[in-house]
Amino acid sequence: MAAPVAGFGSACVGLFVQILVLCTPLTILMSYAVITGGTQGIGKAIAERFLQEGFSIAICARTARDLESCLAEWTVAYPTATVLTFQGDLGVVADTKKFGAFVLKNFPQVDVLVNNAGTFFPGNLADEAEGHLEKLMEVNLYSAYHLTRTLLPAMKERRSGHIFNMCSIASLHAYKNGGAYSITKYALQGFSDNLRMELMEHNIKVTAFMPGATWTNSWSSSGLPESRFMSVNDISDMVWAAWSLSPSANVETVVMRPIKGDL
């Protein structure tokens, strides 16, 4: 049985033991996905879609409670699945690298990486709170950068894999109260474009996803009907569709909006 990464709490240790006992052994014949921000919203929907398709997955979260909640739900829904959990803050570079090392220690390969971790503060550049840009960059960009760099050597050695970066409509144009958030999403798109160019020769795909308004808890108090938004399953279905293409085809950029347009 694999040991948890040193330095994380006893609650996390319990999670690891439970996961590895309940689930099927890891084998090279399986496929493996790493999904950040995988305990809620779009990330959780993507995790569940890959679980439905028989993948083993690794997720992380800042709190043991979120990890335990997903594990309890998925143990019932996907009783033969292998789910690895890691407690850490991907806004902290050291935690991000530890998560990557944990994945490499416990998975024989990484077939899919979904960089979905993100946070949002509304504001205007001229008067938003000091530190907004730095915090948003740490979570929205640096987590993807450092986790990708940690996992890439093994992916390049195998000459296969697919990296999905969850950008945003805010990666495409400015909008009211976008502030520093929009800057970080533009940067994530730039990261995706440069990464794709570098990895073409290694047969590793990179897809930038740019979803518009999608119904999650963050929109529940908006006063707008759920029907005005896309579903998280719309996003997860499209991720799966992009992954399912032949090895010679790559969807470089996906732009998705509600049928009635942006909010």
The residues that are catalytic are: 181
Quickly list H helices, 83-164: 93-106, 132-137, 143-158
Q: How far apart are CA 178 and CA 15, in angstroms?
A: 37
DSSP H/E element including 255:
strand 253-256
Query: What is the token pair recorded at 4?
Result: 């948890």
CA angle 233, 262, 207 (to 5 degrees): 50
Contact 71, 21 (CB under 8 A): no
**Bridge-partner residues for 166, per DSSP?**
209
Contact 132, 179 (CB under 8 A): yes
